[in-house]
A and B are shown apart, each in its own frame.
Chain A
Amino acid sequence: MFRADRARVASAAAAVIVCIVFLFSACGAESASGSSFAMGSVLTARIYADADAAQPVLNDIYSGVNALDRLISATDEQSEISRLNASGSGVCSEDTLRVLSDSLALCRALNGRLDITLGAVTSLWGFAGDAPRLPAAEEISAALQTKGPDKVQIKNDTVTLGGGQKLDPGAVGKGAGCDVACGVLKNAGLPAVISFGGTVLLYGQKPGGSWSVGLRDPFGGQQDYFATLSFAPETGDSAVFISTSGSYEKTFTENGKTYHHILDPDTGYPVETDLIAVTAVGENGLTADALSTALFVNGLNETSLGWINSHLTGAAFVFSDGRVYVTPGLRDAFSLTDEARFTLTENYD
């Protein structure tokens, strides 16, 4: 009798432990993560699968993105874009042509507020390298003469640039890389979150919950956030792309003045604006990446809101005084986590 009773009591107590272990195991789905350099930045992936299933998918993502980088990098002298910039004309691969065609179409649709033909100007500033500098006004003025999406001609697989023109797909590169990653994940059928130099891809449904993406605190560190966006996709093959452009990234100070990397295509100088960051959310990586830059350049106005309606799910504009404007399409997903320094505003005039 004593042994039987003790066994029952011990079994009941042990069951408590088993339940706790099971509960926590059930809450956290198995996932594998990895990180790699790509396009002068870092690509981090978390794939919801066991390590054996995730590893080949991670490898395919890294190799696919790096293959695209070798084609469209403006800093790799062997890339198709660099050779095109050097010679003014050349045959390009299908992947390069697709990125160029999509980007040039967006440049036109966005009234030139995004311009990938600004390479002659961006190379003067050198933000993509390790030694950015303030170019002379005459240099900028001369380089600006070469820009213009309509000067680029694409016939079959041959691309011809305007005189002295250079392409810089930097504003769309990471978005295009996320599109490549999305294709790999779609083939694998595995949910995942990809963070590529600040552009985020949420693929599929997150096991056990909804996706959450922090929006960087413009006044804090790179991993600090002031708000979150939550998404609970209804289908397993849905993709959400989140891209942010901010004047806090890639800066240098000369003669007491700080210069950021987002150039105004009209002036060739860093955009002067009361915005400090813009986040664009959409269903295509290249488009979200392009729009975050264009919206930062163009500011918050009717024209920008029209672009958002045409190309995106929504956007969030952050002003340097802490005001935040969120477009209607994103308001249900948006939550302010730092209400002390940031306030939501309905005004955009």
Chain B
Amino acid sequence: MIDRIKPKKADLILILLLLAAAFSLLLARGRGDALTAEITVNGVSENSIDLRAVESPYDITLQNGVRLHVEPGGISFAESDCRGKDCVRCGVLKRAGQAAACVPNQTLVLLTGKPQKGAPDAVSY
């Protein structure tokens, strides 16, 4: 004979708390985990920015004059004194694994983190 379980109020609260925690975890995972912009100049780490934690846009001007634009979930080259401006034309980096660089100024931005579901592994250009 199986006893019927009659959960009490405390049990229900515990279940709700655990389910809420599970749901929060699910949402966090759904956002693709951490997305970090690793910025290096001449091979030396200059800055590391958690793009998930960025709430409003701002700019960073590096010592070599390169200006980076940081926004929620993205980063881009806003300005550089190089002639070609290929770095500025790279657009906004938003996915883990993407990289952009200003070769004349030896400035590199790489996004690290778990690949986002549905995003391509790379872009051929």
The B-contacting residues of A in range 146-194, CB under 8 angstroms, are 193-194
> Quick one: closest B residue to A131, CB to CB?
B83
Q: Tell yes or no: B46 within 8 A of A by CB.
A: no
Q: Tell yes or no: A137 within 8 A of B by CB.
A: no
CB distance B11 to A21 under 8 Å? no
Binds B, one of A9-17, A102-110, A115-123, A304-312: A9-17
CB distance B29 to A222 under 8 Å? no
CB distance from A8 to the nearest CB of B (A): 7
CB distance A130 to B104 under 8 Å? yes
Binds B, one of A52-60, A93-101, A208-216, A263-271: A208-216
Q: Tell yes or no: A138 within 8 A of B by CB.
A: no
Provided the pairs A13-B14, A14-B18 are in contact, do residues A279 and B124 lie with their beta carbons within 8 angstroms? yes
Q: Tell yes or no: A40 within 8 A of B by CB.
A: yes
A68 surroundings in chain B (CB, below 8 A)? none
A121→B14 CA distance, assembly (Å): 75
| Total A-B contacts with CB atoms under 8 angstroms apart | 154
A200→B120 CA distance, assembly (Å): 12
CB distance A221 to B19 under 8 Å? no
A42→B122 CA distance, assembly (Å): 13
CB distance B124 to A202 under 8 Å? no
A side interface size, CB within 8 A: 59
A195 surroundings in chain B (CB, below 8 A)? 97, 99, 122-124
CB distance A20 to B26 under 8 Å? yes
Q: Using an 8 Å CB-CB cutoff, how does the interface string of A209-238 with B read, 1 for contact, 0 for none?
A: 001111110001111110010000000000
CB distance A200 to B124 under 8 Å? yes
CB distance A130 to B121 under 8 Å? no
CB distance A17 to B18 under 8 Å? yes
A252→B21 CA distance, assembly (Å): 54
Taking a contact as CB atoms closer than 8 A, the residue among A14, A16, A27, A46 that contacts B97 in the complex is A46
28 CB contacts below 8 A, A to B, read A1-B3, A5-B5, A6-B10, A9-B15, A10-B14, A13-B18, A14-B18, A17-B21, A17-B25, A20-B25, A20-B29, A33-B110, A35-B99, A42-B103, A44-B98, A44-B99, A193-B121, A198-B124, A200-B124, A202-B121, A212-B119, A213-B122, A216-B125, A220-B91, A221-B92, A222-B123, A228-B120, A246-B125
